[in-house]
Structures are given as structure tokens and as C-alpha cells.
Amino acid sequence: MLGVIIAFEAGPQQGETRDVELGSLVVGREPITESHQQALALIGAGQSVSRTHFELFYQLGEVRLRSISANGTKVNGKAVTGEMILVPGDTVSPSEDIRLRISWRAPEKIQASAAKSVQADASSGLFSSGPLASPVIRSVIAIYLLGILGVAAWLNLSNSGSNFNEGSSAELTSAYRVWGGEQFSVEELESRIRIIEGDLETLRVAMVRNEKETARVVCRRLRAMDATRESPVYRYAATCLAQL
């Protein structure tokens, strides 16, 4: 669960806010819920808003939106198909006259506590038994970690926004185009490249403004694009998060 604030910026409920402990929330004129879901009815919404129009849900540390209605949903003025990850301050519009602003505070203390717990478990015997006790496997891991350090040096990304440059962005998209050419169709690869370029621009602005929480959210979103460490974008985002 995550505490999320939904502010009505336009529409019949303009000026109202809702505080929600977000697990799964369906939003619409007369939303239909399942047993694990909450509902938010948009009072006074017209017929262009479906009974169940979109879903907000919290998953793996991220707030996501899933557009359900055939009439479409817009985030920050752009139409959404399927799912997308939100960042604090994004606006959601189920119709032209209704606009909701979604915000929250990332649970950094919870994340830090979980990270410490993982580190403690690792130090208490991770390398003393099981597969990691093998010298061969440990050597492979060491080589992999050296590779990560090499990627970090290549990316030249640090806590200072002044070190984030267009060159690193161009090199990353070029590397992803080569890698992704063997993984995806031409259409899907180009779609992914556009998403990556947009996220990199958002990340650049966040780094210049020293908005580290926004940068973390963008890096998590990039990391989630490919569930494999072979992806240049995955390695880039992992390095970004490690240095933030």
C-alpha cells in the first residue's frame, strides 16, 4: 500500500481531494470492483467517461495506470494505451473536462530498511553455502561486477546534473538499438526507443534541477522495460539508481 493524493483540478469536483491507501483503485462514473479493489466514482461525469474508466495500482514500488475504457485516457495530455508508470504530479484525464493530479511521497525509509535487511541476510552466510560457495561461480560474479563498473564509467553519470549529457543519451539509444534489433520487431523497437528518449530527457531535466526522487522514479521505469541484465537500458538504469 502507498498513500496517494488525488486532486481534482478540473471538472464537476474541481477543488476536491481524495487520500487513498493505494493497492488497486478503479475510477469511473460507476466503477465495478473486484474483491481486492477500491472504487472512486467521478460525480457528474458525462457519458464519455466509462463506468470503469481506468485503474491505478501500486506494484513493485511504482504507481501504475491501466487504461480500461475504449474512450481512452490521457496522461499529461497524451493518450495512453495499456499500462504506464506514473511519476508524482502527473495529470490524468478520462475526458476533456475532467483532470486529476496524482501525487505521493515515495516510501524511502521503507525501501532503505528493506535494503539493509537484504544486506544483512547476504552477509550472514550467502557465500558460505549453496551455489555461491563455488569458486567458479564467484569468479563469474566478480567478472560481471567489473563489467558493471565499466558500464558506470562509460555512462559517466553522477549525482550532479552537470555530468548528464546528450552524448551519453545518444550512446545508450544506439547501444539499445543494436541489442534490441535481435529481440524485437522493427515497429516495437522504434516504439521503445521513443519511450527511452522521452525518459532520458525527463531524467536529464531532473538531474539538472537536482530532483533526485524524480530521477529515481525515471530510472526505475527504465529498468522495468526489460527484465534482463543483458539490456543496455537495464544496466544504465541500475547504475543510475546505485549512484542516486
Whichever domain contains 76, its CATH number is 2.60.200.20
Question: pTM (2 decimals)?
Answer: 0.46
| pLDDT reading at 241 higher than 90 | no
Cite the DSSP H helix spans in 79-231: 108-123, 135-155, 166-180, 186-208, 212-223
- pLDDT tens digits, 127-164: 555 555 566 666 666 656 655 555 554 454 444 443 44
Question: Do residues 137 and 52 both lie within one domain?
Answer: no
Q: Is residue 113 in a domain?
A: no
- Structural domain of residue 35, as residue ranges? 2-104
Question: Do residues 11 and 88 both lie within one domain?
Answer: yes
Q: What is the pLDDT of residue 106?
A: 62
- Give the number of domains in the chain: 2
Question: Do residues 94 and 138 both lie within one domain?
Answer: no
Task: Answer yes or no: are the C-beta atoms of 1 and 22 closer than 8 Å.
Answer: yes
91 three-state secondary structure: strand
Q: Is residue 185 in a domain?
A: yes
* HEC sequence for 143-181: HHHHHHHHHHHHHCCCCCHHHCCHHHHHHHHHHHHHHHC
Q: What is the pLDDT of residue 150?
A: 52
Q: Is residue 110 in a domain?
A: no
- pLDDT tens digits, 39-51: 999 999 999 999 9
Q: Is residue 119 in a domain?
A: no
Question: Do residues 206 and 149 both lie within one domain?
Answer: yes
Question: Do residues 146 and 199 both lie within one domain?
Answer: yes
More confident residue, 124 or 84: 84
Q: What is the pLDDT of residue 238?
A: 86
* Structural element, H or E, at residue 242: helix 232-243
Q: Which residues contact 22 (CB under 8 A, 6 or more apart)?
A: 1, 2, 3, 4, 56, 57, 58, 63, 104
Q: What is the pLDDT of residue 94?
A: 96
- pLDDT tens digits, 155-197: 544 444 434 444 577 888 888 888 988 888 888 888 888 889 8
More confident residue, 227 or 129: 227
| pLDDT reading at 22 higher than 90 | yes
Q: Is residue 167 in a domain?
A: yes
Question: Do residues 66 and 140 both lie within one domain?
Answer: no
| pLDDT reading at 232 higher than 80 | yes
